[in-house]
Chains A and B, each alone.
Chain A
Amino acid sequence: MTDRILTVRMEAHPSDSHTIDRYVKTGGYKALRKALKKMKPEAVAAEVNASNIRGRGGAGFPMGVKWGFLGAAEPRYLVVNCDESEPGTFNDRQLVERDPHQLLEGIAISSYALGISRAFIYVRGEYARGARRLQRAIDEAKEAGYLGEDILSSGFSLDVTIHLGGGAYICGEETALLNSLEGRRGEPRLKPPFPAIAGLYAKPTIVNNVESISNVPWITLNGGLAYADIGPDRSAGTKMLSISGHINKPGNHEIVMGMTWRELIYDIGGGIRDGNELKAWIPGGASSPWFVPDKHLDTRVELDEVGANGSMIGAGAVVVMDETTNVVAAAHSIVRFFAHESCGQCTPCREGTSWMEDILARIMDGRGRPEDIDLLMDVSDNISPGLSWPPAMTTICPLGPSATAPVASIVRYFRDEIEAMMPNKEAANA
């Protein structure tokens, strides 16, 4: 059974896996040829649907179902979301820098399947190298006839445009990304209408993540059922996890889901640095609630199981924290990030995140008050009522509720540590 799909080529040929020569030599663009020559667009879409692949951008929505929602109006657009800004994620970066043709082939096949002739790749502004390599790859692919007019003499044409973002996290939210692409402020839109009906320039638009689309060539070549066979039923396929933090082997690891967190952290990740104790980890990027060893070390790395345990795999950023970590500082750092990246549209997110940041900063400064813990929880509750999972929202997009995840986590698991940081009242009065 295959245990890796996306990173095979880049590991085998670290020096030139991004070139078209290497790509074609290692079996590249065979899937596109197969799709264009031997398959109808609906058949390609059916394979993707059969693969059970769930979106890799964070929400984990089945990709085939999303494709099925695409509206009939013309023109239609494909937008690839490469605005990878979640703290702790760097898997898309590796995919576009090391294997851009794999993504382009996926875009070409997806566009063919969806009847789209214009695709955009929205690349995070800081990924200059990735954007350069993607642009070179587009030029190469055009020259070789894999993109542009009348691809492989099939009559199918596709134009791919790269757009560099301005460095806003919120533009990773699909509707904010579309606003940004249109030249507006990067603010999430009201839904409905969903992008599949009225997206870019109010036309039907599919927004998919880099990793999701990069899987499409393999699915086309090997069939959707083969993909669905990999890993557990509801978490089919492989997942690239970006493991970082206090771990011995940080980096991107492509795994088949279904292993336990213990295996992931201690076997694949190589254990905790300096032989320290594991204190907590973030399973799916800054916006996901934390996991702690006592409760979650032997649960499985599976989309639904992580969800059932009150968190998410998200974009696949695993951040490991050892016993030396000051959890308040860690939470403050994450909340500060969200406060900084809030678009400012919705009152609870705009005001609540920065208020929480101020309270956490005060606690770190030794100016906390006993009631601040309840206050933090109540402010969190006002942004995300009930603090349940998946989060209920008082906002347009999930950014605000995401900022409550670290706060709720530290209060849930480390309340005594926070209380210990409050100034001693008797000492202060003396």
Chain B
Amino acid sequence: MPDTVSININGVAHDVEAGQRLIVAAESVGEVIPRFCHHDKLEPVGKCRMCLVEVEGPRGKVLMPSCTLLVSDGMVVDTESAVVKKAQEGVLEFLLINHPLDCPICDKGGECPLQDQTMQWGPGESRFVEAKRNFEKPIPVSDVVLLDRERCVLCDRCVRAADDIAGDPLLTFIDRGNHVQIQTFPNEPFSSYFSGNTVQLCPVGALTSVDYRFKARPWDLGHTRSVSFVDTVHSSVDAQTSRGKLVRVYGIENDRVNEGWLSDKDRFIFSAVHSPDRVTAPLVRGDDGFEEASWSDAMALVASRLGGYLGGEVGAIGGANNTNEEAYTLAKFMRSVVGSSNLDAQLGDGLNPHLAATVTPRATIDDLDRAATIFVWGPDLKETLPVLYLRVRKAVRNGATLVVASPAGTGLDAIAAHVVRYRAGSGSDVLRKFASGDKGYEGAREALDAGPVVGLVGRSSLAEDPMMAEAAAGVVRSLPDSKLLTLLTRANIYGALDMGLAPNLLPGRVSTADDEHAEMLEDAWGHLPRGTGRSTTQMLEDLASGAMRAMVLVGADPVRDCPDPGLAQRALEAAEFVVAFDAFVTDSSIHADVILPAAVWGEVSGTATNLEGRVQEVNASVRPAGQARSLNAALDDIAHLMGVDLRAAKVADVTREIAAVAPAYAGITPDHLTFESDGDGVIVPLEGEQPLKFIPVEVSVPVVTSRLTLHFPDALYDDGVWNRNAPTIAGLARQAEARLHPRDASMLPVHEGDIVSIEERFVMPVTLDDTVPVGSIVVPRNVVGTKGLTASTSVKVEAVEGGA
């Protein structure tokens, strides 16, 4: 229970939490004080002067800004006196004299704090008859954000958000007095991964987004709360629609997850939902390529072909971009109808499913706020889990010590107290030294011994052995007072694993080796093959060799995403029958015999589970494109054709079935999520212990020795099918580049900007970077120009003659 102080507002005594700003305390007891520069998540600056209130002091009542004033016991505040009223009207008049009042065409018009507060607290009319301040309008400050300086009230919110929250100090004030304006630095656009947040924060229409420009007005927007499927943080979003189309995504303040912040990818990728390249009708391979077919014909074909194989000859890859209900239906369909345990939602790019789904002790995202030390061993959070990156930044800003280990520079290095840099492939060596308290890592080791520690552990790149993360998790677990979060990045992969889309997991975080539970599940499902199935890599190998014959691809693109794209290509070409549930014709689904149009994020409802195990509702905001259908509805029909009733036509039925048969999800019914929790989602299991506990131990991972080892990290804006189909951010996709230490470059020999070839096939320019350890090369994965590059641990690099 926090300390309280007693304050008197407008003659009424209130007990409020001590240590708060007056404006926050007043709001908590229902006295709203108008504000522009104040924002709960930003440091106070006291610039707009809108929140002036009268506070009694030793020299009588004095006007004070309530956003900078801390409450103290016995404080007497007047928010409604004549003096306050006049000050509020004065400030609003001042703000409006140079405001262009182009509200009718302003994207903020209708949801504008300046409009609203003028209505409530404003003077009613202006006495200003002079000429207004003029600026060119609007000017692009980045590829996604426009700036209209005439509308700006100079509240400093965007500058603080970019600077303090995102760590990208790219906006600033220039000039002074009446000529002050927000600007970017010369030749440095506001190219932040978090620039969209400033659009949402802006209390006027000064910062607007390029993709929402003139698209709709606030009063014709429909609002749907959902979660972002860009990464596994599952930021709470408000998906906003107009006339049946998604037009904007805003962050919702879910303080346990994203605190209202979103990455630009979270915010702008929705336009891919309405891409003209969506598959909108079932496609069946005919003599001249794909031909449109009816759902009934396509499903009959799928049912008859899948029914013609032995269970083990069929496998399913994918399901990570789907809701829990869809993933569960897929698992049930494959296991009980097709009779196969060959299921994998990961594409060989992830971790041991036991580690990801059931690691113990598991941290929550807000444990970061309570951690004394945060240890990151894995991918660059800024590129892969940007909102988690913001949470780590916040924790560090509030005093946590950050230790980062990675094979190349990451976005967190700048605020890390200790950076452990290791050559790609030699992580095991470094980890051993690190764990044993080797002299070189003393400072970092000391920080880790001071708990509580939250370890964020993942696979730094596809070229790294997945066992490396287990080894690191083992080290973290050996620390006193430590908790772990694993770092898988793909959409609802944690939900998919929890639903049993892994060769060694059954729904509800149960091992396939748990016979007792398997028996129970067999009773519920009617049929359940026992034992462990094949992983994605094994399935692709077996398909290529003919040991397996058919494949179900569910929103998965192994040709781009699995470590060995060549193998995936061969496997899909060799397969007798491939059915793809997909929204696009991808590099993988182009090999399918049948493509069934899948409804995607924004079109389906259900639940999803994030990296901390939080289950939140996912809600549809628009109708599926064309004839697209949700996976559970389609599989239910196909199962019917195969003579089985999956009972999966209705999402709510599936949610209830999950709550009944998946031990970790006991009690997670639609009613519970909607009515019994606070709407910010719940951590599973609700009560009791994890059904399966994975205790990571320190393991030894072989060290790779070759001349140049590969670090192959993911980029936020990659060349994936979703990014390519979202026009707003498609142009931001990273280009291939090879980052090398200058010493390695001099041996090739190449200079900055020269062209090198990798594995004799991929050519790209060289960037010299001394944060890259000697003996390794950094190439971004799945960006423009690296499609198809195998994530092997070492690569052959050669200078290209006359390339530059």
Contacts and interface: CB of A to CB of B under 8 A. Distances in A.
Is A–B contact present in the complex under a CB 8 A cutoff? yes
Interface of A: 168, 170, 185, 190, 339-348, 350-355, 358-359, 362, 375, 379, 381-383, 385, 392-396
Given A355-B94, A382-B90, A394-B90, A344 B177 contact: yes
A394 B49 contact: yes
Given A362-B130, A382-B90, A392-B63, A347 B47 contact: yes
Interface centre among B48, B49, B83 (most CB of A within 10 A): B49
Interface residues of B, number: 36
Given A350-B177, A351-B178, A359 B50 contact: no
Given A354-B177, A362-B130, A190 B97 contact: no
B44 interface: yes
B668 to A, nearest CB: 47
Nearest to B94: A351
Contacts of A393: 63
Nearest to A383: B90
Interface centre among B95, B177, B180 (most CB of A within 10 A): B177
Interface in B48-88: 48-50, 52, 62-63, 68, 83, 86-87
B68 to A, nearest CB: 5
B787 to A, nearest CB: 45
B176 A339 contact: no
Contacts of B63: 385, 392-394
B87 A394 contact: yes
11 contacts: A342-B177, A344-B154, A344-B176, A344-B177, A350-B177, A350-B180, A351-B98, A352-B94, A354-B178, A394-B49, A394-B91
Which 9 A-B residue pairings sit nearest by Cβ, starting from the closest?
A: A382-B90, A344-B180, A351-B94, A354-B178, A342-B177, A358-B130, A347-B94, A344-B176, A345-B47
Given A343-B177, A354-B178, A385 B50 contact: no
B476 interface: no
A355 B130 CA distance: 8
B309 interface: no
B117 to A, nearest CB: 13
B135 interface: no
B154 A385 contact: no
A340 B63 CA distance: 26
Interface centre among A185, A347, A394 (most CB of B within 10 A): A347
Nearest to A344: B180
Contact of B49 (A340, A343, A346, A362): A346
Contacts of B131: 358
Contact of A347 (B83, B86, B91, B130): B91
Contacts of B97: 351, 355
Interface in B29-56: 44-50, 52
A190 B156 CA distance: 14
A348 to B, nearest CB: 6
Contacts of B48: 346-347
B44 A190 contact: yes
B177 A339 contact: yes
Nearest to B87: A394
A341 B180 CA distance: 11
B801 interface: no
Contact of A344 (B62, B95, B175): B175
B176 A343 contact: yes
Contacts of B173: 185, 344
A341 to B, nearest CB: 7
B59 to A, nearest CB: 10
Contacts of B68: 190
B215 interface: no
Contacts of A354: 177-178
Contacts of A375: 127
Given A347-B153, A385-B83, A342 B47 contact: no
Contacts of B185: none
A373 B44 CA distance: 36
B45 A190 contact: yes
Given A382-B91, A385-B87, A359 B130 contact: yes
A346 B130 contact: no
A356 to B, nearest CB: 10
Nearest to A343: B176
Interface string B91-102: 101110110000
Contacts of A351: 94-95, 97-98, 178
B320 to A, nearest CB: 46
Contacts of B172: 185
B179 interface: yes
Contacts of A392: 62-63
Interface centre among A170, A381, A385 (most CB of B within 10 A): A385
B689 to A, nearest CB: 47
A382 B86 CA distance: 7
B762 interface: no
Nearest to B52: A394
B214 interface: no
B178 A348 contact: no
A395 B52 CA distance: 10
A350 B90 CA distance: 13
Contacts of B52: 394
A306 to B, nearest CB: 20
B127 A348 contact: no
A347 B46 contact: no
A348 B46 contact: no
Given A341-B177, A351-B178, A385-B63, A190 B93 contact: no
Contacts of B87: 382, 385, 394
B173 to A, nearest CB: 6
Contacts of A358: 130-131
Interface string B137-181: 000000000000000011000000000000000001101111110
Nearest to A346: B49
A369 to B, nearest CB: 8
Nearest to A358: B130
Contacts of B44: 190
Given A344-B176, A392-B62, 8 more contacts: A339-B177, A345-B47, A347-B91, A348-B94, A350-B178, A382-B93, A392-B63, A394-B49
Contacts of B175: 344
A190 B91 CA distance: 19
Interface in B343-382: none
A348 B91 contact: yes
A340 B177 CA distance: 6
Nearest to B95: A347
A352 B89 CA distance: 13
Contact of B178 (A168, A344, A382): A344
Nearest to A340: B177
B93 A350 contact: no
Contacts of A343: 176-177, 180
A346 B98 contact: no
Given A341-B176, A350-B178, A395-B49, A382 B130 contact: no
Contact of A339 (B89, B130, B178): B178
B177 A353 contact: yes
Given A190-B68, A350-B178, A385-B87, A396 B46 contact: yes
A307 to B, nearest CB: 15
Given A339-B177, A339-B178, A350 B91 contact: no
A347 B49 contact: yes
B180 A382 contact: no
Interface centre among A344, A351, A375, A379 (most CB of B within 10 A): A351
A390 to B, nearest CB: 10
Contacts of B49: 346-348, 394-395
Interface string B296-339: 00000000000000000000000000000000000000000000
A385 B86 contact: yes
Given A347-B153, A351-B97, A355-B130, A168 B176 contact: yes
B178 A342 contact: yes
